[in-house]
Amino acid sequence: MPKKKFVYSFGAGVAEGDGTMKELLGGKGAGLHEMTKIGLPVPAGFTITTEVCDLFFKSGKKWPEGLEKEVQKHLKQLEKTTGKTLGDPRDPLLVSVRSGAPVSMPGMMETILNLGLTDASVEGLAAKTGNRRFALDAYRRFIMMYGSTAMGIEREEFDKAFDEIKAKRTRARLGIPADQKVNDTDVNEEELDELIKMFKKIYREHIKVDFPQDPWEQLKGAIDAVFNSWMADKAVTYRKVEKLVGIKGTAVNVVQMVFGNKGETSGTGVCFTRDPNSGENVFYGDYLVNAQGEDVVAGIRTPIRLAELDKRDPKVYKQLVDIRRKLEKHYRDMQDLEFTVEEGKLYMLQCRTGKRSPIAAFRIAVDMVKEGLISKEEAILRIKASDIEGIFYPMIDKSKPEELKKAFLVQGIDAVPGAATGKVVFNAKDAEEWAAKGEKVILVRKETSPEDVGGMHAAQGILTATGGKTSHAAVVARGWGKTCIVGCEKLDIDYEKGIFAVGETVIKEGDYITLDGGTGNVYKGQLKLVKPEPPKAYTTLMSWVDKIRTLKVRTNADTPYDAEKARQLGAEGIGLCRTEHMFFDSEERILAIREMIIADDLESRKKALAKLLPFQTKDFEGIFKAMDGLPVTIRLIDPPLHEFVPHDEEGQRALAKAVGVSFEKVVQRVEQLHEANPMLGHRGCRLAITYPEILDMQVTAIITAACNMTKKGIKVLPEIMIPLVIDDKELKILETRTREVADAIIAKSGIKLSYMVGTMIEVPRAALLADRIATVAEFFSFGTNDLTQMTLGLSRDDAGKFLPDYVDEKKAGVFKADPFQSLDQDGVGMLIRMGIEKGRSVRPKLKVGICGEHGGDPASVKFCHRVGMNYVSSSPFRVPISRLAAAQAVVEETASAKKPGKNRGRPAKKASAVAPKKTSTRGRKPASAVRAVSASSAASAAPKRRGRPLGSKNKNK
Ligand code: ADP
Ligand code: MG
Ligand code: MG
């Protein structure tokens, strides 16, 4: 095998890599190579691949064989391109050493600037540029960044020294009054000389050796530091919250330095090619004069808006506007750009797909289709489940403006829209702990840092005293669609006392505040939040989604209210109506069911059931009405009976009195019901085998309701579902009885009503014997909650104690995601695939769906599409998410079928994971072909419109 290439160079208009190589070169690296290729002004450099990072950790943090030589070779080339040499005391080459993973993790990993400066070369830089202050400023930044990121010295140590110089010397020299801030730019040459001495002393004290004066040693140390930052806690946490798995590591970009800190005609900026909040097609960004690197993002000084740059330096601004247009056309997506201006000359330092708010995600996707930049299919792929969640985020109820005015506290910069209310906490750890206890919190900080991601994620909203719209807090919160207000400079935060003040008003930890991210307004107290109307772009995009998808989306709903809500969100029926929830609805009902349970002869049981009948009938009428014209799957009683009886003495005494039996008898009956392992006990259809009269009552209620509603002109499509079946004979008994009861009622009512009887597949045995079961069942619904716990042998209610370790990549890392949230496609998925295939082998038109939690998880929904299900069912508010995932499944499938060559790689492997075993002997097939084998052998009932392209005239070649 030829040796792997570890390093890729770019510069002077030529690049060894390109924009498609994100996986290998990281997002930042791929962007730098691509921008170089298309002729943008990018400083030269080279990229060390993500594979090297992987090897680095696999070998106990050692450089792989040959890397050192390769880096040296590319460094030589960089020196040739730039005409400067690393460490040259007369005119040194300086570089930045930058992290950059395949997916953007803003601020999570490290970057070191101005590398190559030493005591000797800093004077060379000073002489060459004729700006000694600038050279010293660069050196102090380098010592601090190298000392903290590569060597692990607390950054605060350096900050303290800097503050000391400012306080003791700069303030006095310039006569700055005590209530005014001393800026970094106020510090002069002598003071910087002094500061560098202090920095080097700090370094020596901690590391026990002098600050390295050999640039090669610096470079190696910095590369190691970037690799190590991949596994830093904050980066690992970020990947966990973002559910980023299977990424090799970070690349390292070594890039020639350009300088935004050379004075008034220099500066550094961050911008987006469209407004990342509203999605509007306007140029958007921040610029900081005479600054370097992180100064903008860290919110050290408040930046100016991009429009002001137009006034300061119209030439640079115009160039930037051209680049904006060029890059959007090139990448066909909104870009997030970083640039630096060195004495009036523009350099591009980064471009990546920009993070955006949920509203912006819809608007940009739809606008770009209209502009002819992308196809509808691409637009669909660009929306994430979290964007849909974000669209429905609450807003402040503005119906009572006087109250709003009274509650108003202060206004900051509106960084991420939406509204949030919660109790004030002042650090990320508290945010996580309080949230874990079920509290809603607002994280209030002077500024946020990447260490805070866990707490930021746990909070309802984020409020910071510093920063602009492109600061760390804003960028991270935007990615999550989380309400965020930054740059609220009037906040006077005292972490120690746990308070913040705005003028006279003092807010304590634990007090409620409310944020309006749309206006930047902060309010005292807990204001009422309301659901917004989804924007037009949402409706447009979802109409494309519904056109393309073939998988139906139903909902799990137990009440007419939920049913109606789900229908508004696009549900096409009910996939699971849990009848037992109705029993808890009122005192009267729960009493009747309890009476039924403690009864010890058939007659009294029937008497109690008769009391429940009118309630259930009425409930079903409401549900059928809400679902007029759509199928409704109703599951017969499922949980073990002991879940319905009181377990405390007081409750048992009350029950005894209400029903008119002795307390002892109630106690005795409750004891009888006790089970050692209720999960595997007397539940599901086993109850109906023992007590068929329960089934009689429920079927009577369903069919009576159906007949009543039909008479009223409502179209009713009932599907009666028998849960937890393990055998066809068992199912046959219950199916026969169901039909006897139902048919008698229908005959008596004199109307025509068709209904279905089917079963849940949720015990492995049922999946294994699916061909026998399908001779009786007219439909299958995979109950993947139970099927997962029984297949894995893990109790869902107890797994919380240890399952997180199985998902944690630093611990066991057995599962990529919690199998109770995202379907275990390998194990449980195999049973599902087999169940469908066997079922349809005897009943080709068998209708198949899923009704576990997984019906609302995008990855699982896509799986359901691939294995040929007819529908998924999810909780009402996840219905739009499932619709989107179902459409994405079609687009992904068509895309992988179109690229036969590419199927030798990853997509084909993914597809074979869902294909039944026997197809693997047929060799590798495109994903869709494999799916067709698995479904078509059995599935004439499988949806037929698979993969029909949308509006193909917009398709990109
Ligand atoms: P992040 O991934 O956190 O954005 P970057 O690697 O982009 O980190 O570096 C952060 C900032 O450092 C950049 O936005 C840029 O301002 C500055 N920077 C990085 N490399 C250079 C360089 N070669 N010349 C000038 N500034 C640089
Ligand atoms: Mg950057
Ligand atoms: Mg179940």
Residue 105: nearest ligand to its CA? Answer: 1
φ/ψ of 508, rounded to 5, equals -100, 160
3-state secondary structure 796-841: CCCHHHCHHHHHCCCCCCCCCCCCCCCCCCCCHHHHHHHHHHHHHH
CB of 295 within 6 A of ligand 1: the answer is no
Predicted confidence band of residue 297 (pLDDT cuts 50, 70, 90)? low
- Residues 241-273: pLDDT tens digits? 787 888 999 999 999 999 998 889 999 999 999
Give the chain's radius of gyration (CA, Å). Answer: 32
**Residue range 800-822: mean pLDDT, rounded:** 84
- Residues 907-921: pLDDT tens digits? 333 333 333 333 333
In the set 457, 472, 642, 865, the catalytic residue is 472
The identity of residue 560, as a single letter, is P
Count other Cβ atoms within 10 Å, centred on residue 650: 8
CATH superfamily, with its number, for domain 7-257? ATP-grasp fold, A domain (3.30.1490.20)
Tokens 């139906």 belong to residue:
552
Predicted confidence band of residue 938 (pLDDT cuts 50, 70, 90)? very low
**Residue range 488-510: mean pLDDT, rounded:** 94
**Residues contacting residue 64 through CB under 8 Å, at least 6 positions apart:** 6, 52, 55, 56
CATH superfamily, with its number, for domain 395-530? Phosphohistidine domain (3.50.30.10)
* pTM for the whole structure: 0.78
Give nearest CA residue, ligand 1 atom 22. 257
CB of 792 within 6 A of ligand 1: the answer is no
CB of 43 within 6 A of ligand 1: the answer is yes
Q: Judging by DSSP bridges, how do beta strands 483-486 and 413-416 pair with one another?
A: antiparallel
Quote the ligand 2 centre to 327 CA distance (angstroms).
17
* Cα–Cα nearest to 348, from 334, 333, 327, 329: 327
User: Which range (224-228, 484-488, 923-927) has the least confidence?
Assistant: 923-927
Which atom of ligand 1 is least distant from the CA of 108?
3
Does 296 score more than 50 pLDDT? yes
- In sequence order, what are the beta bridge partners of 576? 556
Quote the ligand 2 centre to 340 CA distance (angstroms).
11
CB of 103 within 6 A of ligand 1: the answer is no
Assess if CATH 3.30.470.20 describes domain 258-356. Answer: yes
Does 144 score more than 70 pLDDT? yes
| Separation of alpha carbons 430 and 422, rounded Å | 13
Give nearest CA residue, ligand 1 atom 16. 293
Q: Is position 864 annotated as part of the catalytic site?
A: no
CB of 141 within 6 A of ligand 1: the answer is no
CB of 349 within 6 A of ligand 1: the answer is yes
**Residue range 218-227: mean pLDDT, rounded:** 96
Does 657 score more than 60 pLDDT? yes
pLDDT at position 679, please? 85
| Separation of alpha carbons 918 and 903, rounded Å | 19
Give nearest CA residue, ligand 1 atom 12. 293
* Cα–Cα nearest to 390, from 419, 367, 410, 414: 419
pLDDT at position 107, please? 75
| Separation of alpha carbons 269 and 279, rounded Å | 20
Give nearest CA residue, ligand 1 atom 11. 293
Predicted confidence band of residue 185 (pLDDT cuts 50, 70, 90)? confident
Among 171-185, 391-405, 538-552, which range has the highest average pLDDT? Answer: 538-552
Q: Judging by DSSP bridges, how do beta strands 574-578 and 552-556 pair with one another?
A: parallel
Predicted confidence band of residue 480 (pLDDT cuts 50, 70, 90)? confident
Quote the ligand 3 centre to 872 CA distance (angstroms).
16
The identity of residue 621, as a single letter, is E
**Residue range 634-638: mean pLDDT, rounded:** 95
Max Cα distance, the chain (Å): 104
CB of 860 within 6 A of ligand 1: the answer is no
Output b/e per residue, 533-547; b: 16+ Cβ within 10 A: ebbebbebbbebbee
Quote the ligand 3 centre to 174 CA distance (angstroms).
75
| Separation of alpha carbons 67 and 324, rounded Å | 36
Residue of 42, 96, 453, 472 with the most ligand 1 atoms within 8 Å of its CB, for mutation: 96
**Distance set, CA 676 to CA 311, 359, 642, 667, 680 (Å):** 77, 51, 12, 17, 9
Quote the ligand 2 centre to 258 CA distance (angstroms).
14
Q: Is 132 exposed, middle or buried (0-12, 13-18, 19+ CB in 10 A)?
A: middle
Contact yes or no for 414/484 (Cβ under 8 A): no
- Residues 349-368: pLDDT tens digits? 999 989 898 899 999 999 99
- Residues 131-143: pLDDT tens digits? 999 999 999 999 9
Contact yes or no for 844/911 (Cβ under 8 A): no
pLDDT at position 625, please? 97
CB of 258 within 6 A of ligand 1: the answer is yes
- Residues 408-454: pLDDT tens digits? 999 999 888 889 999 999 999 999 999 999 999 999 999 888 778 88
pLDDT at position 644, please? 87
CB of 268 within 6 A of ligand 1: the answer is yes
CB of 293 within 6 A of ligand 1: the answer is yes
In the set 53, 685, 851, 864, the catalytic residue is 851
Q: Judging by DSSP bridges, how do beta strands 335-342 and 267-272 pair with one another?
A: antiparallel
Residue 296: nearest ligand to its CA? Answer: 1
Predicted confidence band of residue 110 (pLDDT cuts 50, 70, 90)? confident
* Cα–Cα nearest to 868, from 910, 840, 891: 840
Which atom of ligand 1 is least distant from the CA of 268?
16
- Residues 501-537: pLDDT tens digits? 999 999 999 999 999 998 899 999 999 998 888 899 9
pLDDT at position 47, please? 98
Q: Which two tokens stand for residue 196?
A: 């560098």
pLDDT at position 2, please? 66
Greater pLDDT, 472 or 326: 326
Which atom of ligand 1 is least distant from the CA of 107?
3
Q: Known binding site: residues?
A: 578, 635, 762, 783-786
> Which architecture does CATH list for 549-640+675-941?
Alpha-Beta Barrel (3.20)
Quote the ligand 2 centre to 338 CA distance (angstroms).
6
Helix ranges, 491-599 (H): 536-548, 560-568, 587-598
Residue 639: nearest ligand to its CA? Answer: 3
**Residues contacting residue 660 through CB under 8 Å, at least 6 positions apart:** none
Domain boundaries, the chain: 7-257, 258-356, 395-530, 549-640+675-941
Quote the ligand 3 centre to 787 CA distance (angstroms).
8
Output b/e per residue, 169-201; b: 16+ Cβ within 10 A: bbbeeeeeeeeeebebbebeeebbebbbebbbe
Greater pLDDT, 878 or 900: 878
pLDDT at position 486, please? 92
Quote the ligand 1 centre to 698 CA distance (angstroms).
67
Helix ranges, 115-170 (H): 119-129, 132-145, 155-165
**Residue range 895-905: mean pLDDT, rounded:** 61
Residue 683: nearest ligand to its CA? Answer: 3
pLDDT at position 832, please? 98
Percent of the chain with pLDDT over 90: 72
Does 942 score more than 60 pLDDT? no
User: Which range (60-74, 315-329, 891-905) has the least confidence?
Assistant: 891-905
Residue of 104, 111, 448 with the most ligand 1 atoms within 8 Å of its CB, for mutation: 111
Question: Taking all residues of the chain, what is their mean pLDDT, rounded to a whole number?
Answer: 90
Give nearest CA residue, ligand 1 atom 3. 107
- Residues 742-775: pLDDT tens digits? 999 999 999 999 999 999 999 999 999 999 999 9
> Strands (DSSP E) along 61-186, which ranges?
85-86, 92-93, 95-100, 111-115
Q: Is position 472 annotated as part of the catalytic site?
A: yes
pLDDT at position 442, please? 98
CB of 340 within 6 A of ligand 1: the answer is yes
Q: Judging by DSSP bridges, how do beta strands 871-874 and 847-850 pair with one another?
A: parallel
